[in-house]
Structure 1
Amino acid sequence: MRGTKVFRSAAGETTRWLRQRPLLVPRPGKTWYLSAVALAVLATGAGTQIAVAQITALPADAAFRIHDTMLTEQQLTDRVRALEALYGVRRPDDPAAVDRFNRDSAKAVAVSEILDSAAEEEGVVIPEKAAQDELEKLLTQTYPAGRGDFIARLGQVGLSEPEVLAEIRRQLTNATLFDQVTRDIPPVTDADVQQAYDTRRDEMAEPEKRHVRNIVVASEVEARNAVDRLKAGEDFGAVARSVSLDGSTKDKGGDLGTAVRQQLDPGYGDEAFRAAANSVFGPVETQHGWNVGQILEVTPAVPLSLEQVRDPLRQKLEGERRLGRWNGWLGEKIRAAEVEYAPRYRPADPDAPPGDVPR
């Protein structure tokens, strides 16, 4: 089920690998997800820095500069391609979405460069075997057809396996840094858990679940054709078997199984959880294509007792404390880096701290 086109994969979005780590338990009914790319946060600073940037303008082919280190557009593209090969991220077609994708990608890679320098300062070294083991795990999860499928994907995007290993090693380094920076946070007490439960009682529920079927095709026109066929009375499963590109669900009539909102691609999930039971929704564009969905069954949310949520709530509170410590530490690193972006790559909020944990 997690291999389906609308489920968020191990690094769905450009850098889910960079942004998500199973430390925070999503609050039922809330979306704990990451916008397009990862780790966010850059600092281009205020007036003085802007004046200096005008004097020392970036070269025409530059994406950004950190002190005396410059990353070109081609180098940025190569880094993003590695993430595409690892996680199957598809660049959007909509011009506005492309602009946001480029800015988010530059921000993620700039923060990654900052973390590389921090890791060197802290003496963090990832053994080659650890990176190899992580690659094998990723191949098992993301490329069920085997290594040949992975190698073919690398050829399509013009990457080599060593380049992918370098990206994996970088993410493992980030995770190690996170653990080092956050290892001495104060423990979460029983009183902390009780207070959090009382404060967030309306969120303490088994989230609503929906049994979903899905068809994924390559274009909006094909998706609308599928909708027309369904409105004309054709069986959803039959249409899915005839046109869907999702090999993991096509033979099952597009059946995704039961999912909570947080398991789905954000845009697709919004539509799926607005739709009525037994209805068809879409087309909805995701990273992997155009989707038409059907809701087979709705299971309402169920309130949970303190005993039922005590352990996951404790983990969530611990995660929030660790994330707060990490944000403060990384924010200082970013401000000190004085990142200069080419205007077309400058993120919308370069000074914002990262919202999620590096994996």
Structure 2
Amino acid sequence: MLRHNRTSLAVCAVGIPVAVVLAGCGGGLSADSVAKIDGKDITKAQYEKSFKYATYKANTAQVLAGKNPKMIVPDSPTFKNCIAQLKAQTPKPPKGQPAPSDAQFKANCKNGYDQIKQMAIFDPLLTEVLRKEAEDNDIKISQAELDKGWANYLAQPTAIGGKQNLAKFTKLTGLGVDVLKQDQRNQLILQKLQAKITKEKGKVTDKDVQAYYNKNKAQFTQPETRGLHVVLTKTEAKAKAAKAELDKGAKFATVAKKYSVDQVTRNAGGKLSGVAKGQQERGLETAAFGAKKDELVGPVKTESGWYIVRVDNITPAKVTPFDKVKDLLKQQVTAQKQQTAFTDWQKQIIKDWQGKTECRKGYVAQFCKGYKEPKQPTTAAGAAGGGQQAPATPAG
């Protein structure tokens, strides 16, 4: 089943051989280019290679698990093979439910193709953006870091799933390990950029933490609770009779057993502990929180019936002091500020590079001038298989 991903700064794109016809020369692009970023051409050959890798990733690394791995290839424009492969992989629907139609399978294949195509142009653009951003921010990746990162990368189930799968990967896609190593290098660069951005712009002061605490004080407040004894009856007359016996000194447990229709409190001798506002019926809550300690009130009418209520104890609301939560809050506020800083940086980077990147019509991705967010996949496409997401603004 094809997997559809959101393109982002944190994700590198994917693919497999495809015949692509690029008609016309838009703007300042040469005939052999699909895009130009900061004066550097992204050639058709680069795009073809990226498309192969994008198709591999859309199929997920699990495709290498079998002895004879095969990928679902969205063969535009008919998608004949893709439809056949999806049909073969789709389980039979439960009895009484229709199987997906060819139109639904085709919609899935078309959606997958469109996203793979977009990722295929996004990936080489991303590589150039990260290379230049690393250069401008004096970020370097040592050979030792590359070696360690490569070992970790090979072990990731979502990447390649082990060194033993490298030969299968090459046979399946026709690609060498260079595309995997570039993917891994991009991740390392992005990690260092994120660390630098969050360190510079994610600093938090005690004043920031105090402001967060003051704004969200309800989160650190334990509400007032009341311990009650109650009797619930179906009629007002029964409630009055119960209260009359209690007024004469009868034990609450005896009266609850005799009159209450609520099994839980009846079995507990009428006891209802730890009641906070918002937990009980409005009438019962109003009576309970309007009464004084040891006061017997009722009958109180509610949707459930008629209550007699006695307040046994009152535990006042308690606010956890700032000093008790300061350290934990600082970690939380810092994490939020760092995430916001990195997200803002990503948005600005995309905006900046859109002014330096020209893409051929039909081959427009996030960094391209004139890029627009794609529409979400249709219900029909989703019905044909797999959770699908359209590319969108990068997320850290």
TM band (smaller chain): 0.3 to 0.5
How does the TM-score come out when normalised to structure 1? 0.47
**Taking CA–CA contacts closer than 8 Å with sequence separation of 6 or more, which of the two structures ends up with the larger relative contact order?**
1
Larger Rg: 2
